[in-house]
Each structure stands twice: as C-alpha cells, then as structure tokens.
Structure 1
Amino acid sequence: MSTPYETLTLEVADYVATVTLNRPPVNAMNLAMRQEIVRAFDELHDRDDVRAVVLTANGKAFCAGADLKERPNIAGEPGAYPRHNRLTRAVFDSVMECGKPVIAAVNGLGIGAGCVLALCADIILVAEESYLAMTEVDVGLAGGVRHVLRHLGQSDARLMIYTARRFTGPDLLRMGAASLCLPRDALLAEAQKIGREIAGKVPLAVQAAKKSFQVTEYMPLHEGYRFEQSQTVALASTEDTQEAWKAFAEKRKPIFKGR
C-alpha cells in the first residue's frame, strides 16, 4: 500500500485511476505536489489494476501553475534552479511516459505549469468555464513553448505565449487542442467513461499504442510506421491478443490477463 498523499488524491475503480489535485485554493504546484505527481504516475505505470488514468482537480481551478512563493533563489542558493528544473521536467515526463493513457479533465483555470500539465495528457477534455494560459511573459519568465507547440498550430501557439491570453474551453476545442468541451458538472463523468472504454480494450495493445505515439512523434513516416509494425508483431503472440481473437470469433466478452 502506497503512502497517503498530501496534495492530491488517488482512487481506482473499474481499472480507471482518478488522480485529483487537491491543494486549495487554486492547486498551485509546490515542491510537495511535484514530488507526489511523479510518485503517483510512476506507481500507476506499474499497477496491474490500472489501465487508464484521469487527471483532474478539486475546486474551480485545475492548476494555477508554480507556487511563486517557492521560486528558486539564484543568488543565495547555488544549484537551486537545476534541481527545480529537473523536478519540473520529471512532473511532465511522468505523465507523458506513464504506460497507461492519461485523460485530462480540465475543470478550471490552468496557468503556466498547470497549462503544460494538462497538455501532457493523451486526451484533453475541458470545461466550458475553464481556460489555459501561459503567463510567463507577464512576470519576466519564459517557458512551455515546446509543449504548447505539440497541441496548437504555429500562430495560435505564438499568440498564447507572446500575449499571455486566456484560451477558453470553447477556444481550445475550436483549435483542436481538446477533444470535448463540456459543462463542468459533466466533465469528470465523461473522462471516466472514456477511461472505462479504454480499459475494456486489450491492455498490452493500448500500452503499445501509447508507446508508438511516444516513439514516433518526431520520426519520419517510414521509420515511424516500421516501429508500429514491430509492435504489432510482438503483440500477435501474446495471450491477450489470442484471447481477443477467440472472443471475437465466439461472440463473447474477452478476459484479459495483461500478458
């Protein structure tokens, strides 16, 4: 049993884990939250009872970004920024590298690091009342460009970064950065529904698909497709794939064992 969390909650039901940021009033990201996000997603990566993950937050804010009261002291603490930056990268990497698909249910504002955290998910759902913003230029900082470029077109990405404008839920849907835009009170249920739908598929195949997204994102088409084919070859001899084929032929629900 894992140690209880202080800045988030973790619940699992029907093979779907729900990670809820819980640091009132606006879920600002401090050292403890960074460490706990990494720990939670590393744990979920290895748990056999988890096949999909929903990432959301308590309250009306998703995540207000870094807690500015904990900014590293460059002058008085040598090495503070490298440590801070390394852990910040680990937060985002833990979500992107989690072997299970992650569905972000963005229930409110996501600013700076909170915006990037949402953009690290595999599937993004946004509340109509929510917005994402990168406000670094307002406080003399810069960051998040590469993550923003993964989801927004060139012009929209620059508009977000250069102006620090708020991109609302409907904006994000129109720009193709979100799959669905829903009323806040319907958001979590829909995210968990998608999670259960994913959980009903062949687990090893879903994990292989996520790995293909990770590995081939910046590959040329030919090399990327060759990698995907190698994943299919490896899956063909697994027990779960054989079970999926048998269940399809016998018109019954498959029983997967994760091997």
Structure 2
Amino acid sequence: MRGLDDLQRFQVEVADHVATVTIAAPPVNAQDRLFREECVRIFDVLGAETDIRAIVLAADGRAFSAGADLSERAGILAEPGGYARHNRLVRAAFDCIIECPKPVIAAVNGAAIGAGCVLALLCDILIVAEEAFLSMTEVDYGLAGGVRHVLRSFSPSDARLMIYTAKRVTGPELYRMNVASACVPKAQLVEEAKAIARTIAEKVPLAVMAAKRSFGLTEEMPLRDGYRYEQSQTALLAETEDTQEALAAFREKRKPVFKGF
C-alpha cells in the first residue's frame, strides 16, 4: 500500500475492505522508537484510506508484544529533553489507535506485557488465544505507566491487582472477566478476528465511523449528554446516500451496496 511499503517493524495486508496489521519485530515484538513511529504512520494511513473499513492488529512469533524496549532507556535519559520527546511519541503510538476512525480488532496470540498490554487494550475489540496473557510489569522495573488504560477494561480491584503485583491474566481469565470478547485456540485466532472485521466491513461505513466516534467522545460524558450527541450523529447520517441505501435494501429485502466514504 502506498505510504506503507518500507515498514521494518510491521507488515500490512488488505483484502475485502479489511487491513491486517501484523507486528513483526522479532524476537518478542518489543516497542522501540521505530516501532512507535511506524505504528503512528500505519494507523494514520489506514484511517484515511477509503477502501479500508476495519483493521486487525495481530503479531508474528510467540509474543503479541513484550512491551517497551528498555535497552533504549539509557540513551533517552542522556538526551537533553529526551524523556519528554519519548513520552510524546509513546502517547502518539497509543493515541493513533484510539483516534483511528476505523474499528481495530486486537488478535492477541501470546504475551502482551506492559506497553504491549496497553496496545491490546486500546483496540476496540479484543480476541485472545487460549495461551495468551496480559501483564503490567512496570513495578518490576521502577516504572508506573498504563494505569488509566488498564482501568478502562478491568474492575478497580482487578486493575490494582494487575498494576501492584504484575499478575499475569490468561486468555480464559480475560474472557471470563469480560475483558476479551472471545478466547479461541491460537490456530483460529487471526481468522476469528478477520471474520469480525469482515462483518463490520459489511455495515454502513459512515455509521460505523460515527459509532466509534461516539464511543471515544461519550465515554466520560454524563448519560444524557452522551445520548444527545449520539442522536445528533444519527440525524446527520440520515441524509447520507449509504443510510438511504441501507433502508431501501431493508424494504426491498436485498443486500445493500454502499458507496463508502
């Protein structure tokens, strides 16, 4: 794809309006500066690409992502203003997924530790392999990141247990705790995530984007304000060709054909 043909930490494939972004940074898919820069570029490009309607974030190897590349820390500390620049890039690499207008499905195949755990939790939908696990190990290394992201997906008690103890939460536990939407054998993981993405891709594209926008904007709004905003989105969508096509197809009992963005 144009703009993504020189990636070193990721691979991107597109089929049926679904982009599959695969982390490919052996041996454990650790997140260094280049990883984060490419992540921002990928989701900016895919977010703007009109042919893409949903995204799967998967990983090669035994780990989804073992977290931040701690070997970079010494160099970051040695640079004047280095930590501020580093933190800004870390936020950007996470924000680009939250702010991507297309839904992102995480297919977590193995260990998702620290920044890798946050990367998975940032996605709209989480699918995990039976042998996968999430863990926040910051307390083991004198760090303290990820609290707010973990608190979005876990109960207050479970979030604190994870952060304070670096406990591993396995795939079956994540499913039981309603953190993950499905827990499947590893061999079925990516196809399960792609199947969800293909289903999303069949829906009215502008409506899906409006729904993701609503999730992001109304998360911390009072109920009445949030619902009022959602109603405004529905009113705007009612004037679009794809919404009118969806309603016509329903009346005529046929499959709709959407023009997209």
In the TM superposition, 1:35-184 aligns within 5 A as: 35-71=37-73, 73=75, 76-184=78-186
Contact 1:41–1:94, Cα closer than 8 Å, also in 2 = yes
User: What are structure 2's unaligned runs of at least 5 residues?
Assistant: none
Which digits, 9 at most, give the CA deviation of each residue in 1:20-68, with x for residues without a partner? Answer: 0001110000111100011000011101110000001001100000011
Q: Which residue of 1 aligns with 2:241?
A: 239
Distance 1:234 1:72, change over 3 A: farther
Write the distance in 2 (CA, Å) between the matches of 1:72 and 1:121: 30
Q: How many residues align?
A: 259
Amino acid in the other structure paired with 1:152: F
Contact 2:77–2:83, Cα closer than 8 Å, also in 1 = no
Which digits, 9 at most, give the CA deviation of each residue in 1:47-91, with x for residues without a partner? Answer: 111000000100110000001111154653211001100000001
Write the distance in 1 (CA, Å) between the matches of 2:58 and 2:203: 23
Question: What root-mean-square deviation, in Å, do the aligned CA atoms of Structure 1 and Structure 2 show?
Answer: 0.9
- What percentage of aligned pairs have identical amino acids? 64
Write the distance in 1 (CA, Å) between the matches of 2:48 and 2:107: 22
In the TM superposition, 1:3-22 aligns within 5 A as: 3-22=5-24
Contact 1:51–1:101, Cα closer than 8 Å, also in 2 = yes
Contact 1:135–1:161, Cα closer than 8 Å, also in 2 = yes
Write the distance in 1 (CA, Å) between the matches of 2:97 and 2:110: 19
C-alpha displacement at 1:244, in angstroms? 0.5
Contact 2:76–2:86, Cα closer than 8 Å, also in 1 = no
User: What are structure 1's unaligned runs of at least 5 residues?
Assistant: none
Distance 1:75 1:5, change over 3 A: closer
C-alpha displacement at 1:201, in angstroms? 0.3
Q: Which residue of 2 aligns with 1:204?
A: 206
Write the distance in 2 (CA, Å) between the matches of 1:179 and 1:38: 25
Write the distance in 2 (CA, Å) between the matches of 1:10 and 1:207: 21
Write the distance in 2 (CA, Å) between the matches of 1:246 and 1:183: 40
* TM-score, length of structure 2 as denominator length: 0.97
Contact 2:127–2:193, Cα closer than 8 Å, also in 1 = yes
SS of 1:26's equivalent? coil
SS of 1:201's equivalent? coil
